[in-house]
Structure formats: C-alpha cells, structure tokens
Amino acid sequence: MVEFLQHNVSEPAYIPQTSWLEHGPFATWLVKASRPRRIVELGTHNGYSYFAMCQAVKEAGLSTECYAVDTWVGDEHAGTYSEDVFERVRIENRKYDNFSTLLRKTFDEALNNIEDGSIDLLHVDGRHFYEDVKYDFESWVSKLSNRAVVLFHDTVVKERGFGVYKYWAEISEKYPSFNFTHCHGLGVLLIGSDVASELRDLVPLSRANDG
C-alpha cells in the first residue's frame, strides 16, 4: 500500500505486458477518489488498466459495474494476438465476476449493452488513428453521465500513424483536462458537470505546471 494524492492505494497485482504500467497508481486513485457507478474500457488487450480499476473497486468496497469491451483479436497498433490473450483475461476476471463483464464485441456492437447517461469513467484505448479515436469518443458521448471522466492513452505518441495526440489537442481545449506525459501519455478529460472535486483541483495545478 502506498499513498497517492492523499489516498492509500495498492499497486496493481495483475501485471501483464503493458505500456500502461506507470499509470496504475493513478487509475487506482481515480477509482477511489471518484467512486464511479459504472466503468467502461474500450480496448482492454492484456487487461492491465482494466484490472487495476477492478482491483480498486473491490478494495474500496464500491458497488461499481465494470465493462471491458474488446474483440481480443488485435489491430494495426496493438498487433494481432492469439486466443491465449483472451483466456488469460477471462481467468483474471473471475476475481471480479460479480461486478465485471467482458464484452467480446466491437465498440459499436457494445453500445447496445450500455444505457445512455450511465458511464462515470470511460477509458478510450482502441485503434489509435486520429479518425478512430475521434469516432470512438463521439460514438460513446451519449453514454456519459454528469459525473463522467474520460481517459485517453498514448496522448504523446507521434509514430506509426498514432493520432491520439492530435485529437487530444482538440478535445482537451473544450473541457477541463490534464495530461500525464510519461509512459506514452494519459489524457484525463473532465466531461461531467458534477465531477469529483479532487479531480477538478488537479486541473489548475496541471496548468500551473505547464507554465
């Protein structure tokens, strides 16, 4: 257990191969600070970020519903992977299956599984071309609640056709936001009008740091 932004948080116990590793403590803190009623992750792959959040839900005794959405076949940026990847995720999910659901579908197909206005925490981490990131976010906006926080991974990567950084530059000007620039970048967008005050307090601190 370590202290992170005045909350005691555990290091994620499940550590597969991941480019998300250094954001694990923040994900744990975010769940405990914002107490989301529903978490949806678009693009789960090996499951590090998803299970870090599930672990935080369980440790905090929250009544959060969690959904991981992925086809678990891969894409141009994640690469193509074998059925073993999904099997490992499925086995890890057994620890959380009373509140966690794996939706093995495309992001569009999964829209029918989630009610409008119900997501408090959305993680967008699918295919990383500019058009895909923009489409994924805009397709799911109607699902966001008045407490919604949206995460975008790879906000500083400018190779292999990645376009998250371009979309982040656009969307982060429209809402309160801050961006972690380490570990490929993690953008945090405060969409809802009733986001937890602990998160809102980070926005001016981030802007001051930029200066």
* DSSP annotation string for 33-87: HH--SEEEEE--TT-HHHHHHHHHHHHHT---EEEEE--SSEETTTEE--HHHHH
Residue-wise pLDDT for 20-38, tens only, equals 888 888 999 999 999 999 9
Mean predicted lDDT score pLDDT of the chain: 90
For residues 55 and 14, the answer to whether their CB atoms sit within 8 Å is: yes
Contacts of 61 (CB under 8 A, 6+ apart): none
pLDDT over threshold 70, residue 206: no
Residue 146 DSSP SS3: strand
The pLDDT, as a whole number, for residue 10 is 76
189 vs 143: CA distance, rounded Å:
15
For residues 11 and 2, the answer to whether their CB atoms sit within 8 Å is: yes
Residue-wise pLDDT for 81-118, tens only, equals 778 999 999 999 999 999 999 999 999 999 999 999 99
Rounded to 10°, the helix 83-93/48-60 angle is 0
What end-to-end distance do the CA atoms of the chain give, in Å? Answer: 33
**Per-residue confidence band for 5, with pLDDT thresholds at 50, 70 and 90:** low
Q: Which value, to the nearest 10 degrees, does the dihedral of the CA atoms of residues 202, 13, 61, 38 take?
A: 60
Do the strands 38-42 and 119-124 form a parallel or antiparallel pair, or are they unpaired?
parallel
DSSP code at position 208: H
Mean pLDDT of the region 188-210: 81
Highest mean pLDDT among 132-146, 177-191, 192-206: 132-146
∠ Cα 46 49 53 (to 5°): 130
Question: Which token pair is 130?
Answer: 């500019």
Residue-wise pLDDT for 124-155, tens only, equals 999 889 999 999 999 999 999 999 999 999 99
10 vs 53: CA distance, rounded Å:
11
